[in-house]
Amino acid sequence: MKARVVASRVVVTGVGIVSGVCTGGAAAIGPVLESGRSAVGRVTAFPTDGLPSHLAAELPPGALAALVEPAEARRLSRVSQMTLAACRLAVDDANLGDLSDAHLIVGTEFGDLRSTEEFAAGYLRRGAGGLSPLAFPNTVMNTMAAASAIALGLHGSSVTVNARRVAGELAVGRGAALIAGGRATAVLAGGVDELSPLMFAVLARLAAISPRGGGEEGCRPFDRDASGPVRGEGATFLVLESLEAAAARGARALGEIRGAAWRSGARAAAIPPALEAAGLAPGDIGWIYGSAAGDPAQDAAALRSIRRVFGDAGPATTSLAPVAGEHAGLGAFGVAAATWTARAGRLPGIASLRRPRPAAREVAAGPGVHRVPVGPGLVHGVCRGGDDVALIVAPMGDAA
Amino acid sequence: MRDPVAIVAAGVVTPIGQDLDAFWSSLLTGGAGITRIERFPVADLGVGLGGEIKKLPPAPRRAPECRASRLLLAAASELRSGGGALLARDPARLAVVVGTALGGVAEGERALAGAAGLRTLAGALYDSPARNLARGLGARGPVLTVSTACASGATALGVGAELVREGVADVVVAGGYDVLCRFVMKGFDVLRALTRDAIRPFDRRRSGTLLGEGAGLVLLAREQDAAAGPRLGRLLGHASGSDGSHIAAPDPNGRGLEYSMRAALAEAGVAPTAIDFVSAHGTATPLNDRVETNVLKRVLGRRAHEIPVNSIKGYMGHTMGAAAALEAIMCLLAARHGVIPPTFGLEDPDPECDLDYVPRTPRAARPRIMLSTSAGFGGCNASLVLEGV
């Protein structure tokens, strides 16, 4: 397997998080992960009567009001507002003034599904007279990226990547590749999804979310009582820069993406090539932000992928799915959290873990915050039978 | 300057031809792909014309019902001639990158209208057509769906080339697709972007575009892996740029388009003076064609008026996510055959669009280095620099 040739080191200089559990920049991460808070609760934005599922991690009402201008709030769809808000928080966090040459990569599973649904409903139920010319451009998959590029005055590429479960990790990985390959010096990369009544109903009726198999509803990664994932919503974006560019402007670096790899297929294994790109061995990895979200088969696939590299007693492995729900922003949230863990040596455990599955007992980090080695760790995104994305995140100056 | 990536083979499904030969023949003879849409009701639409594919090639056994997937699979079948050995070499190292503006919205529309079930809707929400293509090809490498609206096909070729260069995959099937459905026709209808006339790129009387459907795919590989076999050409450079201006209209100054052209040329290590032929986005909207003309003049400099430029949207409509891939393939065929297809629909050149837009008849030429430009909603722009053989 050929290693990627790293031309530039990739550093994280800013974070913007808009989620059910917190909103803010890098400084917001530590307190919320130390607190053990979770945004998972009964859905309030739309009725779930008649559906088997009722839980999700919603953005609090009014969360976006302080983050977007009133004119933007009138003009942009909600998911575009989330994207713009998180991008803006990240740019402010990085103190990045000039965005004219910056690039933007938006990962999403569902895109602006609400606008698509509303536009279709407009002509299916109300006829041509019910259509707004403003609504249609929002139905194109790249609308969140476009709205943010326009508002931020960004003139580099703005690309949307659409993938199941790993869109956020993949967007960050592609952003890192752009910088490592010398194609860009600054990239805003992350993910976004919103809860929509239609999507929630479809996933609930298809038993794609908790509760499946008659279990109790809830997000329980690695637990014998796991009954499926719980959806969330929000956006997390990172400012990635080449080390040279960040140093030249005196930027603070929150951490480094030492290696990134992406593989697909039934036996995909992205962790080994990511370690190789980082110049690290499995024993150098002190902790893992995994993608387990409470789907037993999916979690087992993620665990197999980790055990193949680290053995049965691998590094402490956690998941943020019980904190902010499954959505494309969560993968980027994981990378942001990893920069904090790499520096602080603190790993938030899985608060909902009560009865670990035997295969996970050795590695799954239970409730509470765990002390882990300061140093490099892994962010791992998996879609069973599909993509496997691995990102090695290290503190600056780490020499492991 | 980066390593060029070999373009080994191509496959197309379009309203004017369902293989490369038929597509090329229609581009030279003016085969009409614009017809009245028959597959769904259009009586209530302001415009009922489009580049509709009337009959798809027979579907392979167990092929998905989804039209977008069928378009991709039909285009992919042609990749085997020329690219068969590379396609079969190592499934784990074969990746798929496709671009689309609207993905599975046609299936979503059927489900929302009650004509299909929840599973159809769930499939439509995701990147299903790309997954179905990968399954049909037996590809087990990365599968990615990208969107830069109507520039998506070019972005997919660019991202595909990056995956080859980065060693993520050895061989990449890259391209774009989109299908006609009531959803997209309604959308362009309310934007009043569709013409009631013909598509007339760069013409004084141009009054908007028409939509089409199709798929275009290419097979990308490293130079050394493609060295032994046939090839269509090379992708020398690509870049995307954002206008940062308006969600549904191009920046009047064409900043993103210019950024993408200059960055793609820089990546290719090609001077603007070395360009032999430009495939323009050329949608025939009043603003696009004027902006594009001005940007081409700025980028190409003193040779701008000497370089032939065409738009092939008049033949089959704007095929959205497929358009840039089909136009890149047209460039490679032009180099191979030594002929540049004319700008179909251009009869009375607009004085404001005063470049050599190859009106009316094919032009004998030997283009080698070519620039293909694309633009889409949200101010997305993408440019490809291609080398023909």
pLDDT tens, position by position, A145-198: 999 999 999 989 999 999 889 999 999 999 999 999 999 999 999 999 999 998
Give residue B125's pLDDT: 63
- Give the CA distances from residue A55 to residues A164, A216, A231, B175, in Å, rounded to whole numbers and listed in that order: 20, 11, 8, 39
- Å between A142 CA and nearest CA of chain B: 6
User: Contacts of residue B166 in chain A, CB cutoff 8 Å?
Assistant: 4, 177, 181
First to last CA, chain B: 20
In this prediction the ipTM stands at: 0.91
Question: Alpha-carbon distance B181 to B297, whole Å?
Answer: 36
Give residue B370's pLDDT: 98
Q: Determine the residue type at A177.
A: A
pLDDT single digits (tens) B344-363? 999 999 999 999 999 999 99
Contact assignment for A140 to B377 by CB distance below 8 Å = yes
Question: Alpha-carbon distance B6 to B236, whole Å?
Answer: 9
What's the whole-number average pLDDT of chain B? 92
Question: Alpha-carbon distance B121 to B106, whole Å?
Answer: 10
- CB-based contact A118:A143 (threshold 8 Å): no
User: Contacts of residue B177 in chain A, CB cutoff 8 Å?
Assistant: none
Catalytic status, residue B281: yes
φ, ψ dihedrals at B171, nearest 5° = -135, 135
pLDDT band, very low/low/confident/very high, at B277 (cuts 50, 70, 90): very high
Question: Would you say residue B124 has pLDDT above 90?
Answer: no
Mutate to test the interface with A, among B166, B225, B253, B320 (most CBs of A within 10 A): B166
Strand segments, DSSP code E, in chain B are: 5-13, 35-36, 49-50, 94-99, 143-147, 171-178, 214-222, 233-242, 277-279, 309-310, 339-340, 363-364, 369-376, 380-388
Give residue A4's pLDDT: 39
B228–A contact, CB cutoff 8 A: no
- CB-based contact B217:B325 (threshold 8 Å): yes
- CB-based contact B223:B4 (threshold 8 Å): yes
Identify the active-site residue in B66, B318, B353, B380.
Answer: B318
3-state DSSP assignment of residue B306: helix
User: Contacts of residue A117 in chain B, CB cutoff 8 Å?
Assistant: 112
- Å between A236 CA and nearest CA of chain B: 19
Closest CB to A159 among B95, B141, B240: B240
Contact assignment for B186 to A147 by CB distance below 8 Å = no
Give residue B123's pLDDT: 67
Give residue A400's pLDDT: 36
User: Which structure tokens are listed for A151?
Assistant: 């508002």
Give residue A7's pLDDT: 66
Question: Alpha-carbon distance B16 to B22, whole Å?
Answer: 7
Identify the active-site residue in B181, B281, B331, B380.
Answer: B281
Residues 243-302 of A with CB under 8 A from B: 261-266
Question: Would you say residue B59 has pLDDT above 80?
Answer: no
Give residue A129's pLDDT: 63
pLDDT single digits (tens) A286-324? 999 999 999 999 999 999 999 999 998 899 999 999 999
Residues of chain A with pLDDT under 50: 1-6, 398-400
Strand partners, B150: B148
Short-list B177, B212, B206, B181, CA closest to B45? B181
User: Contacts of residue B165 in chain A, CB cutoff 8 Å?
Assistant: 181
What is the CATH number assigned to the segment(s) A10-394? Answer: 3.40.47.10
Query: Cα B288–B291–B293 angle (5° rounding)?
Result: 105
φ, ψ dihedrals at B269, nearest 5° = 70, 35
Question: Alpha-carbon distance A38 to A324, whole Å?
Answer: 6
**Domains contained in chain B, CATH given:** 5-388 (3.40.47.10)
* Residues in Cβ contact with B254 at an 8 Å cutoff, skipping those fewer than 6 apart: B243, B291, B292, B294, B295
Catalytic status, residue B238: no
- Å between A354 CA and nearest CA of chain B: 32
Residue with tokens 């269509």: B232
Domain extents in chain A: 10-394
pLDDT band, very low/low/confident/very high, at B105 (cuts 50, 70, 90): confident
Residue with tokens 């190409």: B300
Which of the pair, B16 or A75, is modelled with greater confidence?
Answer: B16
